[in-house]
Amino acid sequence: MKLRGLYAITDSQLLAGKFLAYVEAALEGGVTLLQYRDKSSDEARRLREAEALRNLCERYKTQLIINDDAELAARLGVGVHLGQTDGPLAPVRALLGHKAIVGATCHASLALAEQAASEGATYVAFGRFFNSNTKPGAPSANLELLEQAHIKLHIPVCAIGGITLENAAPLVAHGVDLLAVVHGLFGADSSAEVTRRARAFNELLQIK
Ligand SMILES: Cc1ncc(COP(=O)(O)OP(=O)(O)O)c(N)n1
Ligand SMILES: Cc1nc(C(=O)O)sc1CCOP(=O)(O)O
Ligand SMILES: [Mg+2]
């Protein structure tokens, strides 16, 4: 699957009180993948918010991905992102079907990425590349890894962790297909600034 562009990830604390407004502002600027990332156990709210995001994504022709929760993804007919402690990938691929987007966290490991690809991952995510407000304790990754991934893997490569408009260019130069961003996109003071940032990320990736 050819996936390239901005991968916007929601954060329930950062987006409190402006959740849909800021997400729509990002979609307005151009988002290839939108991930619903909510670490709470409030099932009813999670379903409500994920359904609202699915409706928005349909309007903007953006693909919705649910973090961690394959059952919710199956219920909504959308994709999922799985980390190394979120369970095996192959049964989730079987549950969601061959067309669904299934992403996998691979930290800084090419071996994990090759395994994920062999189990049916649509894309692999490496990180974190910079200091992250959202997940400061995530293991770190470096640019050389991206070059090797670009050569060895035949699926899209995603970078995550502390990515901003100021530091993203080297990631793109090293072959990244997807820039996954929370704070560098949604940490803006206004929805107009979210849209401006989304457009600027797309320009970096040379996406119109
Ligand atoms: C695109 C993308 N990459 C990595 C992650 C991190 O997944 P995981 O390691 O499972 O950590 P949590 O996000 O679940 O805290 C991600 N969500 N998205
Ligand atoms: C959810 C997540 N996973 C990471 C990893 O390295 O696996 S870094 C991260 C947080 C990304 O948010 P921000 O753009 O604000 O740094
Ligand atoms: Mg996870």
- Compute the distance between CA of residue 52 and CA of residue 35 in angstroms, rounded to an integer: 13
Nearest CA to ligand 1 atom 2: 125
- Centre of ligand 2 from the C-alpha of residue 103, in Å: 14
- For ligand 2, residues with CB inside 6 Å are 105, 127-128, 132-135, 138, 160-163, 181-184
Q: What is the pTM of this model?
A: 0.98
Mean pLDDT of the chain, nearest integer: 97
Domain topology for 5-67+122-204: TIM Barrel (3.20.20)
Give yes or no for a contact between 104 and 149, defined as CB atoms under 8 angstroms apart: no
Tell me the mean pLDDT in the region 195-205: 98
Residue 2 predicted with pLDDT over 90 = no
Pocket test for ligand 2, best of 14, 107, 128, 178 (most atoms within 8 A of CB): 128
**For residue range 23-80, what is the model confidence (pLDDT) as tens digits?**
999 999 999 999 999 999 999 999 999 999 999 999 999 999 999 999 999 999 999 9
Q: What is the complex's ipTM, to 2 decimals?
A: 0.99
**For residue range 161-183, what is the model confidence (pLDDT) as tens digits?**
999 999 999 999 999 999 999 99
Preceding omega of 128 cis (within 30 degrees of 0): yes
Give yes or no for a contact between 145 and 97, defined as CB atoms under 8 angstroms apart: no
- Centre of ligand 2 from the C-alpha of residue 66, in Å: 15
Q: Please state the domain extents for the chain.
A: 5-67+122-204
Give yes or no for a contact between 181 and 7, defined as CB atoms under 8 angstroms apart: yes
